[in-house]
Structure 1
């Protein structure tokens, strides 16, 4: 039988979600704990991978087990065993064919920026050392829904079979203390949100015009994109699934 687990994690201590040779990952930590508590080998499949240092407020993984899981009791136990920077929020039984990655309808990321040095946001937001024009950045962000091919914002040597993404939400919000960039799409490419954020910041600085931003997308060449912003400002915030996959 198959279950979906809703998880969250602080990414600072991990080399990303996916298992890495000779490096601690979120997946390895979770699989070890799930396997010990369930008494059988558990392999997790996630809605998507996150890179080293990226945080996650909502992520889903699926796994198969041979017996029914008492979800309420199990949640209490697993959160007692996991380190403080990883949490399992919920556990739900799903249809056997339900897949955490392939059945996800959309994913939402946020990139957090602080305008001033703040020791309480160390490792949680990127500090911006220059002024930006948020209105100009939003003008550029509004263009994203008009495109489908985002090869210009994909890391080199990516394993993606294609670079087609449907972005249906992208905007910047500004407060007295910082900025947040929100972007939602059906899928994302490796490094896409961080490269996209860096390029939009270049628009905000006046280094690029909105027209040049559009031309970068159309070039399909990541050498034209802006700088890759640091991982610690990035959060996977939401993953949406169709209602008919759940069995409880």
Structure 2
């Protein structure tokens, strides 16, 4: 029997009809659909481990997960076949062999999200954006976003009753930009808490609308109280956009 090999998959998905990434009882998830497709292709049970969890309705441009198999893989044939098996709202973009100790979650250096907001109605992208009726001040939002980099405990932006040992995250960058008729928020950190990005976006938009001052971000973060932050932005506008790894984990 061939020795088992570990592979990283780069996966995109539209999260609208899924209850997030992680398998759970009585709910259809991206991980469940992906494992079912892989198990069909390899004709053996296949489990995957993702680089992070996305909540219900959240999308991914580039989610990474790993799996193992002792079967030989013709990559071109695999990608063509597996994308024919998977639902139309999930695609595998690439497959790479990695060292057997490489881990999609624990080997990740940084993770990035992008949040998309539009100010004019567009029936073609409603599932992928937050349609907002007022125009927030992007300069005020960026002033507030810079304050995120001065802190490392973000309990105030976390969903309550989560099974985490601590609420510390190292945010590397956070900024808003106007692009292609949208307001887009980009954020990169070593890790994220459950609901964190959507809570940050909701809080920053309240700053952009003049409901809070940018410097209030200090007090909100230092309070460690979710009730002091803004309402969470809708899941539809959030995309898991990138995961970074050291190149030395790859074998190809």
What TM-score range do you get, normalising by the shorter chain?
over 0.9
Residue 243 of structure 2 is aligned to residue 239 of structure 1: yes
Distance 1:8 1:196 in 2: 23
Return the match for 1:30 from 34, 38, 49: 34
- How far 1:175 moved relative to its partner? 4.6
Answer yes or no: is 1:124 the counterpart of 2:141. no
Of 144, 150, 172, 1:146 maps to 150
Task: Give the CA RMSD over aligned residues.
Answer: 1.1
Structure 2 alignment gaps of length 5 or more: none
SS in 2 for 1:69: coil
Q: 1:104 aligns with which of 105, 108, 117?
A: 108
Q: Runs of 4+ in structure 1 displaced over 3 angstroms?
A: none
Indicate if the aligned counterparts of 1:203 and 1:213 stay in contact, CA closer than 8 A.
no
State the distance in 1 between where 2:179 and 2:36 align.
41
Match of 1:13 in 2: 17
Q: In the superposition, relative to structure 1, how do residues 39 and 175 fare at CA in structure 2: closer, same or farther (>3 Å)?
A: closer
SS of the residue aligned with 1:146?
A: coil
Alignment partner for residue 42 of structure 1, among 39, 46, 50?
A: 46
User: What count of residue pairs does the alignment treat as equivalent?
Assistant: 248
Tell me, which stretches of 5 or more residues in structure 1 are unaligned? none
Q: Distance in 1 between matches of 2:179 and 2:97?
A: 40
CA distance in 2, matches of 1:114, 1:124: 10
| Alpha-carbon distance in structure 2 between the residues aligned to 1:90 and 1:177 | 30
Aligned to 1:204: 208
Query: What's the secondary structure of 1:210's corresponding residue?
Result: coil
Spell out, residue by residue over 1:69-126, the C-alpha distance to the aligned partner (whole angstroms, 9 max, x if none). Answer: 2222111110111111100011111101000001111111011000011101111100
TM-score normalized with structure 1 length: 0.97
Q: Tell me by how many angstroms 1:176 deviates.
A: 7.3
- For 1:3 and 1:158, the matched residues in 2 are separated by 30
In structure 1, the partner of 2:95 is 91
How many angstroms does 1:20 deviate by? 1.9
Q: Counterparts of 2:74 and 2:182 in 1: how far apart (Å)? A: 43
